[in-house]
């Protein structure tokens, strides 16, 4: 009888071990999938979705230090990672309405903001590089340079979190 009990215990231990291994593998694969979807082109629909105008939603959307793009009340807002000027995935899709507005005779107005940390001159230059990156994206979408206006905002450092402040806004003007 002890042989049967030993076999039963061994089967239980092996079954438990296999279940534990399967659980670990599932967690690892799930984590990898979530991270890839969060940084790949598969996240484009979420990146270009019209966000609510509630400040808490915006702050939560840009709380991390990753580039993103949001469309809020007709304004395309590009958020940038610290010290970076690369556009987020979904930039072209977010600019589609701007391109359409320009084709109807309006101008694309680009304004760059920066946070208040670090050297002000370097921040201003980085805001300019970010605005140029957005301008280049518009040009790549077929918008003529004379239909793009780079406008320095009156207040270049935005209020709110640093992640919110590191942005470029695109609006349609006359």
pLDDT of the chain, 174 residues: tens digit per residue: 567 777 888 888 888 888 878 778 877 777 766 665 554 443 333 333 333 334 444 444 444 578 888 888 889 999 988 888 999 888 899 999 999 999 999 999 999 888 778 888 888 899 899 999 999 999 999 999 999 999 987 666 656 677 778 889 999 987
| Neighbouring C-beta atoms of residue 152, cutoff 10 Å | 13
Q: What is the pLDDT of residues 29-60, one digit of tens each?
A: 777 666 655 544 433 333 333 333 344 444 44
Of 61, 78, 74, nearest to 132 by C-alpha is: 78
Give the residue among 125, 122, 115 at the shortest CA–CA distance from 157: 115
Looking at residue 132, what is its pLDDT? 94
Farthest-apart Cα atoms in the chain, separation: 91
Q: Which two tokens stand for residue 145?
A: 């340079």
11: left (phi over 0), alpha (psi -120 to 50) or beta: alpha
What torsion do the CA atoms of 62, 66, 67, 72 make, to the nearest 10 degrees?
A: -10
- Contact criterion met (CB below 8 Å) for 97 and 74: yes
The total number of residues written for the chain in this structure: 174
Give the bridge partners for 109, in sequence order. 149, 171
**pLDDT of 35:** 61
Element containing residue 76 per DSSP (H, E): strand 75-79
What pLDDT is stored for residue 27 in this prediction? Answer: 76
| Mean pLDDT of the residues in the chain | 78
pLDDT tens per residue across span 16-30:
888 878 778 877 777
Q: For position 30, what pLDDT does the model report? A: 74
Burial 13-50 (b: 16+ CB within 10 A, else e): eeeeeeeeeeeeeeeeeeeeeeeeeeeeeebbeebbee
pTM over 0.75: no
Among all chains, which residue has been given the structure tokens 């010290």? 83
């Amino acid at each position: 009888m002890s042989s049967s009990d030993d076999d039963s215990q061994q089967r239980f231990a092996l079954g438990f071990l296999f279940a534990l291994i399967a659980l670990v593998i599932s967690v690892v694969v799930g984590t990898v999938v979530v991270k890839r979807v969060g940084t790949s082109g598969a996240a484009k629909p979420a990146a270009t979705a019209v966000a609510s105008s509630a400040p808490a939603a915006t702050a939560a959307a840009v709380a991390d230090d990753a580039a993103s793009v949001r469309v809020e009340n007709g304004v395309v807002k590009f958020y940038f990672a610290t010290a970076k000027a690369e556009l987020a995935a979904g930039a072209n899709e977010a600019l589609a309405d701007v391109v359409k507005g320009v084709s109807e005779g309006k101008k694309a107005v680009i304004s760059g903001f920066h946070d208040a940390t670090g050297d002000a001159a370097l921040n201003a230059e980085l805001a300019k590089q970010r605005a140029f990156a957005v301008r280049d994206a518009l040009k790549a979408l077929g918008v003529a340079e004379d239909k793009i206006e780079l406008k320095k905002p009156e207040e270049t450092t935005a209020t709110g979190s640093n992640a919110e402040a590191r942005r470029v806004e695109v609006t349609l003007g006359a």
